[in-house]
Amino acid sequence: MRSGPDDACRRWRVLLPVLGMLAGTAVPLPATADAPARPEAIPPGDYAWPVAHARWRIADLMKDGGITGLSVALVDGDRIVWTEAFGQAAPGTPATPDTAFRVGGISAIVTLLATQRLVDAGRLDLDAPVASVMPDFRVRARYPDARPVTIRDLMTHRAGLPVEHLDGAMAKAPAPWETVLDLLAGTDPVAPPGSRSQESALGITLLGLVVQTVAGASFQTHVQQAILGPLGMARARFATGAAPGPGDAVAFRDGKPRPVLGVRNVPAQGLHASAGDLARILRYLFGAPDALAALPLRPALRDMFWQPQNRDVALDLGLPVGLGFVLTGFGPLGLVGAGPVAVAASGDDRFPGVLAALPDHRLGVVVLSNAAEARQAIHRIAGELLANALDARSGIRQPPIPDFPYADPPWSRDRLARFAGSWATLMGLVRVEVRGPHLRVKALGKTFRLVPRTDGLLHLEYRLLGLFKIDLKELGALGFSQTTVEGRDYLVLHQGTTRVPFGVRARPGPLPAAWEARLGRYRLDNPGDEPSPFSRIRLKRQEGLLTAELTLKDMGGMVVALVLQAEDDDRASFDGVGPGAGAILEARDQTPAVLTGSGWRYVRIGD
């Protein structure tokens, strides 16, 4: 009843390490005694210590985290300083620097580059309606006063399109990606165009169809000739991945190969590339002269990747989003004093990956893996390597995690009470209550505290058995505030100067009788070629709210309750922020009851 079990990694991929730690209240791995010590003096541009430290960290995480294979690259301006691979690419086959991984959402950067090349050539207008190029493009009418979706909207994830159509999104034999027009024709938009940013694989796939139409050649052929070849990415390619090629990584879980599945949305998720290939993209974006000569593009168009494209989007609450990148880091990638941190992530638990860059310093890292267990580890490796490389290049060292004193005097009960209530958040339904001088937060089956601190934010704490305070390391740097935008209260998550929409105040109210009659247990009826990610699905009413309560199989049985807002007797929309917000759940009254949303179908099986 959502856009998929990994959608919290979609638009908010930047938050993955933070959300993962909140879910498990895990303490990050401590540095062991054999970690390479930082030299007293590092000659500028000497990366021996950052590389040695990264090798140690990778070995440590692969050993303790069950990670099968991993590849890494470090870029300094024009130079690819380091590439190396670790572990297995496939059973019995070592990973090498040339091993190709399906890089998921990072693929969009190449599709965006192809679009910009057509814009630069005068063959495409950024502000032209998509329908002027693709006359058959349409979605269901939901917002009667909405303006047309433009090419720029697709590029900046402001088209109001849903994240995904899950039925067939990943399969043994995916449908042709060009069927995206048919999928969208039967889809409700999730927001009016331009009103908020929400990453959409369907939107980038539609953009690939625009590129194919304007270029007059197949998308794969055009991108190979116009982008991958000139950048020296001769072995990289766009494909579903349903038929792995020579040198491709195989996905693992628990040390065992997983069934091979391909992706439908090839322009959004189907790039197969090595860490070195992605390093070549960073060289280009950093302005390497040979790369610019091979792939000419007006500087103003190239710079858009590093520039916020959503300054006028109030509902993004200041979270800067460029082209293909979120322009801020969180958790291990929340670097201080480094300028913008540009982050793109795969969002695919089969092939977790992250590309992170410091545009002001022309430094970047790539970390790719073929193990589901690496979803948090890749961010730690990338963050530490980027921080240590910044130290080696510019002498900018990361400060220790600050220790925020409690507010003195304590906040008044009235001030605390402004946060009390039910919130639809990136972690699902969260209940906040005033408890003496602090707030008690119930989320994901755990109880946290929010304690006022001296900088005017609320500080996150976790106490074992409610008594013993646990050191949450990076989580201790997080703070929460509240703001009101367009008449609704929002929870805002802070780390340093970064602000991220975390939740919106839920709106309890009477439940229509038609939805009351549908409460009960459901099963996913069309999971496709993989088992359902849910061990239990329940439509229920709690705290005056209609919720979809999901028990996730591959996250230790974690229960997430998603908030729904009934729009009429047959349609409800998911409330909240981030991926899935605004998506429609539609009911069909038959026996048994059936609910449909984002391409998945749920059948009622009991009370």
pLDDT tens column, 462-476 = 765 444 444 555 666
- Mean pLDDT taken over the chain: 91
Pairwise pLDDT comparison (4 vs 393), residue with the higher score: 393
User: What pLDDT digit, counting tens, does each position of 555-603 carry?
Assistant: 778 899 999 999 999 999 999 998 889 999 999 888 899 999 999 999 9
pLDDT over threshold 60, residue 28: no
pLDDT at 26: 43
pLDDT over threshold 80, residue 312: yes
Q: Are 572 and 181 in contact (CB under 8 A)?
A: no
pLDDT over threshold 90, residue 70: yes
Average pLDDT over residues 331-350: 94
Q: Count Cα neighbours of 233 within 13 Å in the Cβ-side half-sphere.
A: 29
Which residue is listed with tokens 């197969």?
Answer: 272
Q: Are 358 and 375 in contact (CB under 8 A)?
A: no
pLDDT at 477: 79
Cα 573 from chain centre: 21
Strand ranges (DSSP E) for 132-179?
Answer: 170-171
Q: Which of 57-66, 184-193, 517-526 has the lowest mean pLDDT?
A: 57-66
Dihedral sign of CA atoms 217, 223, 229, 235 in order: negative
Q: Which structure tokens are listed for 435? A: 């408890």
Nearest to 474 by CA among 11, 30, 12: 30
Nearest to 4 by CA among 576, 582, 527, 577: 527
Amino acid letter at 36? P
pLDDT band at 1 (very low <50, low <70, confident <90, very high): low
pLDDT over threshold 50, residue 149: yes
Torsion, CA 86, CA 90, CA 91, CA 95, rounded to 10: -20
pLDDT band at 32 (very low <50, low <70, confident <90, very high): low
Q: Which structure tokens are listed for 391? A: 């130290």
pLDDT at 20: 54
Q: Could you tell me which residues are beta bridge partners of residue 129?
A: 150
What would you report as the CA-atom Rg of the chain, rounded to the nearest whole angstrom? 23
Q: Which structure tokens are listed for 212? A: 């194919």
**Cis-peptide, bond into residue 17, ω within 30° of zero:** no
pLDDT at 467: 46
pLDDT over threshold 80, residue 159: yes
pLDDT at 537: 97
Which residue is listed with tokens 């303006």?
Answer: 147
pLDDT over threshold 90, residue 234: no
pLDDT at 4: 42
Q: What is the pTM of this model?
A: 0.94
Question: What percent of the chain is predicted at pLDDT more than 70?
Answer: 92
Direct distance between the N- and C-terminal alpha carbons of the chain, in angstroms, rounded to an integer: 17
pLDDT band at 65 (very low <50, low <70, confident <90, very high): confident
Average pLDDT over residues 72-80: 98
Amino acid letter at 416? L
Amino acid letter at 180? V
What is the 8-class DSSP label of residue 227?
I
Cα 596 from chain centre: 24
Report the alpha-carbon distance of residue 284 to residue 35 in Å, rounded.
33
pLDDT over threshold 60, residue 2: no
Question: What percent of the chain is predicted at pLDDT more than 90?
Answer: 83
pLDDT band at 5 (very low <50, low <70, confident <90, very high): very low
